[in-house]
Amino acid sequence: MRTINDLGDLRGKRVLIRCDFNVPLDGETITDDGRIRAALPTLKQLTESGAKVVVMAHLGRPKGEVNAKYSLAPVAARLGELIDAPVKLAGDVVGPSAHEAVEAAQPGEIVLLENVRFEPAEESKDDAERQALAAKYAEFGDVFVSDGFGVVHRKQASVYDVAKLLPSAAGHLVAKEVDVLKKLTTDVERPYVVVLGGAKVADKLSVIDNLLTIADTLIIGGGMGYTFLKAKGYEVGSSILDDEKIDAVKGYMERAEAEDKQLLIPVDTVVSPEFAEGEGIEVVDSDKIPADKMGLDIGPKTAKLYADAIADAKTVFWNGPMGVFEMASFADGTQAIAQALADSDAFSVVGGGDSAAAVRQLGFSDDEFGHISTGGGASLEYLEGKKLPGLDVLEGN
């Protein structure tokens, strides 16, 4: 795969770059700028080399319609602060404002196009529609740099199709993410522990299937843990549950036992009568969840069990919180996993999305972990063994 360093002298050239600036917002306030910071090494190299930098990015799911709620204006302001230079935000994606901004750009300057998902063809399943939009994107660049790892698993116009139209290369972020994921799938230093949480077991089934082959220990927490508990025949009350996946989960537990792999599920649980802070919160053994309560976090015995497994590991991958970490009463499990990773000498990878937001919200700094990924979904699909279109297209350039 070619990288940005293979593109030669970029002085005066227009570099079209896809970044992932899908940051969480509270109104117009960015609550976690990690994805913007992750793009800085590539953007700084481009501006310092004298390139005219044209950035494509998305925010949220506007579903092909212009929606001020999903404008990249807060991103442009924050990027300007971080890079210590003005960032010009175009008023559209491929319209007159975008053309005017790109034409006016000087070497070393950055233009940010509006949210590419304002364009209906960006996420179209119709190849011709995406290709037509990609051709409009390509008018803004002499070369293309792919640096939005969080979207490389998507066959979208600004990720996949435009890379076929211009000389293309991976930015520093994408190259680093791929290097990290290779350490999690080939030549892994063992023991290798994988921690999976989050709400839906269906989102993680394929990765469980593949990681049962690769990992030594698989740790299950979060909302998906209750499907595993139900598969053991336990009462789970009103906890989140994926009934359709119970048989599949039973199969994974049987397979783990047959292959002498350790598969850990919660032994105790923090339960509540409702999805909220308040009265009635208690810790119970996982086989004694009351029928009128729901599990919202792993309990302290589970947290210690999981932390002990992590302490013995040489490689750890974590994707998905252990509970509803946004509420203080249900944050201890996620806090315990984050602390165990921070204390570990293992090569630790936090797999993007909610996990990355959780560790920062809970007061951990990025440098306490081996790597914090910017792409949860992309990381999981890579670990499933899937081909990622946004990476495959770069192999041919």
- Which residues are documented as binding site for (2R)-3-phosphoglycerate? 35, 117, 154
For residue 12, give the DSSP letter: T
Catalytic residue status for 13: no
Q: Indicate the helix (H) or strand (E) that contains 296.
A: strand 294-298
Catalytic residue status for 11: no
Find tokens 């944050």 and name the residue.
Answer: 331
CB atoms within 10 A of CB 327: 16
Q: Which of 50, 80, 377, 385 is catalytic?
A: 377
Q: What is the dihedral of CA 176, 182, 183, 188, to 10 degrees?
A: 180
What are the residues whose beta carbons fall under 8 Å from the beta carbon of 131, sequence distance 6 or more? 157, 161
Cβ contact 119:94 at 8 Å: yes
Structure tokens at 367: 């440098």
Q: Which of 13, 18, 35, 360 is catalytic?
A: 35
Find tokens 């936090």 and name the residue.
Answer: 350
Cβ contact 341:365 at 8 Å: no
Q: List residues forming the annotated binding site for substrate.
A: 20-22, 35, 58-61, 117, 154
Q: Which of 353, 375, 376, 390 is catalytic?
A: 353
Q: Which of 200, 232, 301, 386 is catalytic?
A: 200
For residue 219, give the DSSP letter: E
Q: List residues forming the annotated binding site.
A: 20-22, 35, 58-61, 117, 154, 204, 295, 326, 352-355
For residue 377, give the nearest of 347, 363, 397, 356 by alpha carbon: 356
Catalytic residue status for 200: yes
Pairing relation of β-strands 14-18 and 168-170? unpaired
Catalytic residue status for 27: no
Residues marked as catalytic: 35, 200, 353, 377
